[in-house]
Copies of this chain bind each other. A is one copy, B any other.
């Protein structure tokens, strides 16, 4: 009953059922044109033979690739210490695997390569839709993702940056305000911010919230631009400690905060006795550090799962909308305390 290649085909099922291949196709695809009895018989034979649809055949017939695409436009080496993306991917997978979908993952050196990847995926019908991360302003990717012939997409980021597409976002401004408020409550009046890649929209949102909230509380601020790498986090921390003055530092990711903790140890500056440190994106690394790092904590795997569910809604034809995921909450641990007495 098997075809030559060892794969079950519609013809095999048709032969065994004694019906035409067209009837088998109607039955398997849930279309009218066959009786209920025939449909039931065909489905039973298909199941018995272990038939699985060819994704190639289905996408030619306008059906689904059962694949979702994600491009990460980051230098490959940054992925090794950005626990965010692996947790995010794991969350996406937790929803995809329930529906037998796969995730087509492409690491691209830059945003131009990301645009080329979308173009190729669209032309070759490789994915049903994509998850777009790190929106910018302006964002060249939106040209390919907005419009009648576009790839269905969900943007992970602020609705103001999503070009009208469905977006899932966290309220980073509120999270940053709560962090500055907490430090002010401890008595800090001079705080540093080791911030992320300026092209990313969320960096701008966090920067602005930090500056405004600190100004509203008459705090003195020092900002250091960095790129999420431990080396940049350590260098910015050394610089802030050398200049003196700040008694607390907020970092835009956990890898930089951990490196900042190492730099403080190295410089003989006590944490939290002389300087308090706060990480963004909590992770097991924050809990494993000594002292444990106070962090803006967010369930990143749940965030990824939320994004995947919204993408399935978009694929099902739901109109675009914006969805706020839970706001990162400050998890207070051992790396923060009141500033040293003068």
Contacts and interface: CB of A to CB of B under 8 A. Distances in A.
A277 to B, nearest CB: 12
Contact of A60 (B56, B83, B283, B291): B56
A103 interface: yes
A335 B305 CA distance: 38
A125 B56 contact: yes
A53 B291 CA distance: 55
The dominant DSSP class at the A interface is helix
A59 interface: yes
Interface stretch (A19-27, A93-101, A132-140): A93-101
Contacts of A123: 7-8, 50-52, 54
Given A6-B149, A76-B90, A77-B90, A126 B107 contact: no
Nearest to A258: B288
A196 interface: no
Contact of A284 (B55, B57, B66, B80): B80
Given A76-B93, A77-B301, A259 B288 contact: yes
- Complex A-B, nearest 5 residue pairs according to Cβ-Cβ distance, in ascending order: A52-B123, A76-B90, A80-B87, A265-B290, A93-B107
Nearest to A94: B76
B284 A261 contact: no
Contacts of A265: 290-291
A2 to B, nearest CB: 10
A91 interface: yes
Contact of A261 (B5, B113, B287, B290): B290
A103 B106 contact: yes
A235 interface: no
Contact of A105 (B57, B93, B100, B120): B93
Nearest to A108: B97
B100 A102 contact: no
A60 B55 CA distance: 9
